[in-house]
Structure 1
Amino acid sequence: MEQFLDQFFNVTVLVKYTPAILSGLGVTVVLSLLIVVVGVGVGTALACLRAYRIRPISFAIVIFADIFRALPPLVLILLAFFGLPNVGVVMSSFTVLFLILTLVLAAFAEEIVWAGITATPKGQWEAARSTGLGYTQTLGYVVLPQAVRMVIPPLTNRAIAITKMTALGMVIGVPDILGEATTAQSFSANASPLTLAAIAYVLLFLPLVVFSRWLEMRFAHPKV
């Protein structure tokens, strides 16, 4: 037990590397917020664009969503970071991680919001159009609010799942929680920084998981 505690809960190591883990926590928080805001926003915009049912555009959106939902994010990150410089496109590790995870979340968000739009009763469209609202007004004022309300729980769950993938940034040198922890672990030859990283992830994402559970209960369809 003493050896276990020294390896995973070494007080000296924990104190020494806490500032680095906190710095990584700040990077993870900024990344997560940017990914969620931009990813959900782009996904929702694509779902609305798809609602116009313009075949070439709808086809392109479907292809985009299928590709980014099918490919592992780590593969995309490595391709972007190590492959694009060979064709003259160089981006920082932070930018690559943000861009790839944002596109992945956008792909999932598009499909989720699209499911909400198609699940909205046809009568809602017809009732709104009968009052003189145009197609865009009906979509924006009547259909989209109902669709978003229906898909908030799965959208929130997917957003949390994608933002936890910020840990993949470690492989390209992003100084997030895991990146700082693995660096500290290498210098200290001790696993305590990884324990500290695990605690940081719990403190960051557990409230989001609880919030997601509350949303599921709040927006669940009433039982008959």
Structure 2
Amino acid sequence: MEDFADAFLNWDIVRRAMPILLRGLWQTLLLAAMVVPLGVLGGLALALLSRARSRWVRWPLAAWTDLFRALPPLVLLIVCYAGLPFAGIDLGAWGAVALAFFLNTGAYYGEVLRAGLDSVPRGQAEAARALGLSPYRTMRHVILPQAVRNVLPDLVSNTVEVVKLTSIASVVALPELLFQARQAQSVTYNASPIVAAALAYFILLWPCVRLLSRLEHKSIAGR
């Protein structure tokens, strides 16, 4: 037991590694602040375009969504980081992460938001038009708020998954939390920095998980 604690719970090593772990945590927060809005905006665009009447718009969008939901995010990230330079497009680590997450998480957010838009009764749009609202204002002030409220638990759940997924940025040497923890592990020959990183993820995401649980309970109670 003492050997286990020394290998995984050595707080003296964690204390010495804390400066680079905190830098990694900051990078993780910056990543989340970048990729979550990108995914939401991409998903919103897909959800709105999916309501087009033309099948020549809907079918390519459906294929696009299925493609980027099916591709593993890690594979997509490596293609963006290591594959695009062969085509003369070098995005760097941040650009590759932004593009990969935009494509992957945008597809997931798009499906969630599309379901939300479909859940709003048609009568809501008809009533808004009868009151003289333009299509833009109808969507912004009537349809979209109801759609987001209807799928809020799914949006929060997807956001939690996106934040956890930022850890794959370590494979392109972006110095986020997991990358810094692995660097500390390689220097100290001890797994305690990895455990500390896992604890940091838990502290960061636990409030969101509790919020998700409350939203799900309220959603079930409201049925």
- TM-score band by shorter chain is over 0.9
Shift of 1:130: 2.4
Aligned residue number for residue 14 of structure 1 = 14
How far apart, CA to CA, are the structure 1 residues paired with 2:187 and 2:111?
Answer: 44
CA contact (8 A) 1:24 1:177 kept: yes
CA contact (8 A) 1:128 1:142 kept: yes
Shift of 1:50: 2.5
How far apart, CA to CA, are the structure 2 residues paired with 1:16 and 1:134?
Answer: 60
How far apart, CA to CA, are the structure 1 residues paired with 2:62 and 2:123?
Answer: 26
Root mean square deviation of aligned Cα: 1.7
Shift of 1:15: 1.4
Matches within 5 A, 1:90-169: 90-169=90-169
For the residue of structure 2 that corresponds to 1:108, the secondary structure is: helix
How far apart, CA to CA, are the structure 2 residues paired with 1:32 and 1:196?
Answer: 19
CA contact (8 A) 1:14 1:196 kept: yes
How far apart, CA to CA, are the structure 2 residues paired with 1:221 and 1:6?
Answer: 47
1:39 counterpart = 2:39: yes
Aligned residue number for residue 2 of structure 2 = 2
Q: Which amino acid aligns with 1:20?
A: I
Matches within 5 A, 1:2-81: 2-81=2-81
> What are the Cα deviations for residues 67-116 of structure 1, in whole angstroms up to 9, with x where unaligned?
11111101101111111111111122222122212321211111111111
Matches within 5 A, 1:166-185: 166-185=166-185
User: Which blocks of at least 5 consecutive residues in structure 1 are unaligned?
Assistant: none
CA contact (8 A) 1:32 1:166 kept: yes
For the residue of structure 2 that corresponds to 1:133, the secondary structure is: coil
How far apart, CA to CA, are the structure 1 residues paired with 2:140 and 2:221?
Answer: 22
Q: Which moved more, 1:172-181 or 1:55-64?
A: 55-64
Give % identity: 38
Shift of 1:204: 1.0
Instruction: Give the alignment's TM-score, normalised by structure 1.
Output: 0.92
CA contact (8 A) 2:80 2:99 kept: no
CA contact (8 A) 1:167 1:177 kept: yes
For the residue of structure 1 that corresponds to 2:52, the secondary structure is: coil
> What are the Cα deviations for residues 195-218 of structure 1, in whole angstroms up to 9, with x where unaligned?
111111111111121122233344
> What are the Cα deviations for residues 107-153 of structure 1, in whole angstroms up to 9, with x where unaligned?
11111111111121122222222223333332222211111110111
Q: Which amino acid aligns with 1:193?
A: P
Instruction: Give the alignment's TM-score, normalised by structure 2.
Output: 0.92
Report how many residues are paired. Answer: 223
User: Which blocks of at least 5 consecutive residues in structure 2 are unaligned?
Assistant: none
Shift of 1:31: 0.5
Q: Which amino acid aligns with 1:36?
A: V
